[in-house]
Amino acid sequence: MLEMSVGDDSNMEVVSGTIFKMERSIRAKLLAARAISREEAVTIQEANFDTQEQNWLNYIAGGLFSEVKKTADRRYYVTVSK
> What does the pLDDT look like over 16-45, one tens digit per residue?
888 889 999 999 999 999 999 999 999 999
pLDDT of 2 above 60: no
Query: What is the average pLDDT value for the chain, to the nearest integer?
Result: 87
pTM of the model as a whole: 0.80
CA distances from 49 to 8, 65, 81 (A): 30, 21, 23
Q: What percent of the chain shows pLDDT beyond 90?
A: 63
Domain ranges across the chain: 11-78
pLDDT of 81 above 60: yes
Give the whole-angstrom CA distance, residue 40 versus residue 18: 27
Buried b / exposed e over 55-76, threshold 16 CB at 10 Å, is ebbeebbeeeebbbbbeeeebb
